[in-house]
Each structure stands twice: as structure tokens, then as C-alpha cells.
Amino acid sequence: MPCIKPQNPQLPACIKLVIFDCDGVLVDSETLSYRIYAEEFAHEGFNKTPEKLMKLMSGFSLDDMLKTVASLRGSPLPPDFKKRLNAHVLTTFKTELQPTKGIVDLLTALKHHSIPVCIVSNGEADRVECALKSAGLSHFFDKQHRFNVRLVEHGKPAPDLLLYAAHALKINPSECLVIEDSGTGIKAAQAASMAVIGFLGASHAQNNGYKAKIKDAKPSILVNSTQELITTLFSQS
């Protein structure tokens, strides 16, 4: 079976599966998403800047985010709020979402080397599908290689979804590499005993505070761009 043999000793000697988070890794969606969250929460009297919401809830599933906001505001959100919020996000994705800079080059290189890839996302299926289609990335991921939060009882930071994906694709966790932009995702990879790269290549990850937060999560290594990630994986393969 094909594998990547990176020279970095912090990574597996033979990587047989690369597991991507979606938001903030494959697609540059976090700045867009948190702008919408801030707008919609403000309509319900919960006023936080997009930056503060991101700091508080980066990597959360939508359900966990809504539970957190309801707790902080001291009252439940309206019954139709999730549906309304999700519709706003998907509509915006269709017109504004872009792939993360350089990600097409990385996916093309992985395909050239016949390395399997998959998505493991705390997002729900409709959001993942919309993101891939809007960013022009659908053709890189087989349908059966797209794993969303509804497939398991506990999403990230639990390891369940990562382990589910590895089992489904018949790859040992020790031979997987996870690409993550959030502390939540990094914790999940660590709990799954998978190597994880902290990815800082999307627009939301450019401030020093965010970078420090990801560094504090102690990923196997950090990369600041997709080009750095490509070099890390393929310089000695």
C-alpha cells in the first residue's frame, strides 16, 4: 500500500492515510462562519465579536456551540434558531467560500502519490457537502471518505470519529496523519493515538493569539502554510 515517508521524526515513518478537518483546513471558512454566528447570536441578544466567539468555541460542533451560548445567555435559543443559522451559513458558503490557499496543490500531490485521504468533521453532512462543492474540492474525496459528526455519539474532542474513519478505511491509527486547525481537533487526534499537524494556513489563524493557542495544544508539529505542509510531507518521500 502506498505511503508517505516524511523525514520529520515526530510523524509516522509510513503515513497511509491523511485525515483532514474541513473548516479552517480544507476551506477558509472560519472567518465567514464566525461573522455569521456573531450576527445571528446578536439578534437573540447575545453580543460577542466573531473573534471572541472563535476564541471560545473554535472546533465545536454546532450543537455544542448552541448549548454553550444558551448556557451563557441563561435561556434557550428559539426552536428554529439552528435551522436559520445553518441556512445563513450555507447560503454564504455558496457565494463566498474559497479553498484554503495552496490546498489544491496538496490534494493533487497526495493523489499523485496514491495516498488515501478522508474528511473527519465536527460539521454535519449538509455543511461538509456544501463546503466541498462551493470550494471546488468534491472530486478529491470519495463519498465514503467523508465522515461527519452524526456518525458517532461523541464528536471531537472525543476520538470516536477519527477511530471510526480509520476502521472504515482499514488503516491502523498509528499510520494515520491528522491535519487540524483547532485545539478541539488536536485533542481528538491525541486521544486516538494519531499524529496530528497543527495547521495555521487559513486566514483566521494568522493572529499571534490563535497561533499560541494551537501551539499550547501540543500537536506533533506546527505548520504555518500549506506549502510548508507539502514540504514537510514530500521532501523525502
Average pLDDT over the chain reads 96
| Residue with the larger pLDDT of the pair 146 and 209 | 146
Average the pLDDT over 192-213 and give the result.
94
Closest residue by Cα to residue 100 from 32, 186, 187: 32
pLDDT at 236: 60
- Percent of the chain scored above 70 by pLDDT? 99
Average the pLDDT over 212-228 and give the result.
97
Q: Tally Cβ neighbours within 10 Å of residue 10.
A: 12
pLDDT at 77: 96
Q: Tally Cβ neighbours within 10 Å of residue 94.
A: 12
Rounded Cα–Cα distance for residues 102 and 178 (Å): 17
* Model pLDDT for residues 52-64, shown as the tens digit of each residue: 999 889 889 899 9
- Given a contact cutoff of 8 angstroms between Cβ atoms, the answer to whether 4 and 115 are in contact is yes
What are the residues facing 119 on neighbouring strands?
20, 146
pLDDT at 1: 85
Instruction: Tell me the three cell numbers of residue 192.
Output: 486516538
Average the pLDDT over 82-94 and give the result.
96
Rounded Cα–Cα distance for residues 205 and 199 (Å): 8
Domain topology for 30-96 = DNA polymerase; domain 1 (1.10.150)
Range 186-201 burial, b when 16+ CB lie within 10 A, else e: bbbbbebebbbbbbbb
The crossing angle, in degrees rounded to 10, of helices 208-216 and 50-57 is 10
Average the pLDDT over 78-92 and give the result.
96
Average the pLDDT over 31-59 and give the result.
94
* Model pLDDT for residues 157-199, shown as the tens digit of each residue: 999 999 999 999 999 999 999 999 999 999 999 999 999 999 9
- Percent of the chain scored above 90 by pLDDT? 92
CA distances from 19 to 38, 87, 95, 115 (A): 29, 27, 26, 11
- Given a contact cutoff of 8 angstroms between Cβ atoms, the answer to whether 122 and 155 are in contact is yes
- Given a contact cutoff of 8 angstroms between Cβ atoms, the answer to whether 29 and 97 are in contact is yes
Q: What residue spans in the chain does CATH classification 1.10.150.240 cover?
A: 30-96
Q: What residue spans in the chain does CATH classification 3.40.50.1000 cover?
A: 17-28+98-234
Nearest 5°: the CA angle 197, 201, 202 is: 120
* Model pLDDT for residues 101-117, shown as the tens digit of each residue: 999 999 999 999 999 99
pLDDT at 61: 87
3-state secondary structure of 99: strand
Average the pLDDT over 10-28 and give the result.
97
* Model pLDDT for residues 118-159, shown as the tens digit of each residue: 999 999 999 999 999 999 999 999 999 999 999 999 999 999
Q: What is the identity of the amino acid at 108?
A: T
Pick the CATH number of 17-28+98-234 from 3.40.47.10, 3.40.1390.10, 3.40.50.1000, 3.90.1150.10: 3.40.50.1000
> Is a pLDDT exceeding 70 seen at residue 237?
no
Dihedral of the alpha carbons of 17, 23, 29, 35, in degrees to the nearest 10: -170
Average the pLDDT over 42-56 and give the result.
94
Where does residue 136 fall: left (phi above 0), alpha (psi -120 to 50 degrees), or beta otherwise? left
